[in-house]
Amino acid sequence: EDFLKEFNTSGLPAEALEEFKQIEELYTKKLWHQLTESLVRFVKYDCFKQGTMLLDIYKHFISDFESKINPLALMEMLCPFNLFYVFTDSAEALAFLEKIKEKSKANLEAKLLCLTAIGNIHLLGNNFEATKKVMEECEAILGDLTGISSVHGRYYELCSNYHQILSHHNEYYKDALRYLGCTDLDTISVPEQQERAFNLGLAGILGDKVFNFGELLQHPVLDSLKDTPRQWLIDLLLTFNSGDIEQLNQLRPYWSAQPDLIANELKLKQKIMLLCLMEMTFARPSNNRHLKFTEIATNTGIPVEEVEILAMKAMSLGLVQGTIDQVEEEIHMQWVQPRVLDKQQVGKMKGKLSTWCNDVLSMESLVSSNAQEILT
């Protein structure tokens, strides 16, 4: 009570000041649940992003009744990202987090939240080995949790940041999409959305195991790049998703200005050729997937003698399944890897279904007319 009376509220905005008055009233009435909810909101104001105010609130106020607080809510108050900057060095911050981690043992989600905070400290200090150990410990806890919560988002955010720094394109693409899947987009600022969308797009294009862009193309985070100087990345993703090599060449003035992309130009061209082969297979009806070497060479822009190598590469990666007829110079495709489809590809699927329905009706009519002769 003495701390609340002496607390300097001059730096608080009007909304935070109103929340603080409510906190005083709830503490006096010993309404711990309502007080916890109010405190979780209170510590998220921008005024706590610097200085030691947040730490003082814990030491002189929250610690007095922390045993009455839900462990997860307690970790939500004590593990915001801005807390890392109230300490003079990372060792001091880690010591504090290790101390409060003991208070979270009874709750797996609270423990996971505290561990991700510790992992972020290590990551800020470029201690990648320690960060990886924390990630592995978090992953083990994650397996024991049921359902999806905001705590999952914190874990995937840590993993994606780790992979981004180390340029692990495939892993970053996977974990960044998981982070967005666990996080309300309204809680992410527009500049951060733009940065996240741009990095995701680059990782998807550069990742040698990423051949499906549909999930990213349908995610609203990509809308943050529209009508900005980076909109070309959306066009480039659509180009790769459809395997359009001609469009890739037209967009070259844009993507060639990006150092990572121009440095991997050969790999990008090889990747879009594989995607072009996938799209050719997908576009064909299932009963007519005999692709001529010359047809593939025309669409991909490679010599006919290299078509067989391209097909073998696609098969080894599990993108398509089929057989190669060297004599007839044909590839008999039997299967293409499932993908999240964009609107244009869904339109092709609709056309296939319409054709299939018409074939069924034709067969039904044929059987019906011929059956009359048999019955009579």
Q: What is the CA radius of gyration of the chain?
A: 28
The token pair at 324 is: 């190669």
> What average pLDDT does the segment 35-59 reach?
81
CA gap 155, 331 in Å, rounded: 44
Whether the pLDDT of residue 173 is over 90: the answer is yes
CA gap 235, 257 in Å, rounded: 15
Element (H, E) at 181: helix 169-182
> What average pLDDT does the segment 197-215 reach?
94
Q: Are 287 and 263 in contact (CB under 8 A)?
A: no
330-336 sheet: strands from edge to edge: 290-292, 330-336, 320-325
CA gap 291, 331 in Å, rounded: 5
Over residues 72-128, the pLDDT tens digits come to: 888 888 776 445 556 667 788 888 888 888 877 778 898 999 999 899 889 988 999
Going by CATH, does the domain composed of 273-375 fall within 1.10.600.10?
Answer: no
Whether the pLDDT of residue 232 is over 90: the answer is yes
> What average pLDDT does the segment 128-147 reach?
91
Residue 185, C-beta contacts closer than 8 angstroms, at least 6 positions apart: 193, 220, 221
Q: Are 33 and 56 in contact (CB under 8 A)?
A: no
> Measuring CA to CA, which residue among 68, 79, 87, 61 is closest to residue 7?
61
Over residues 9-36, the pLDDT tens digits come to: 777 788 888 888 888 898 888 888 898 8
Indicate the pTM of the whole model: 0.84
Q: Which sign, positive or negative, has the C-alpha torsion 89, 110, 161, 233?
A: negative
The token pair at 311 is: 């097909």
At residue 157 the predicted structure's pLDDT band, cuts being 50, 70 and 90, is: very high
**Domain limits, the chain:** 1-69, 273-375
Q: Which sign, positive or negative, has the C-alpha torsion 218, 220, 222, 225?
A: positive
Over residues 319-374, the pLDDT tens digits come to: 999 999 999 999 999 998 887 766 776 777 787 788 778 888 888 787 777 766 66
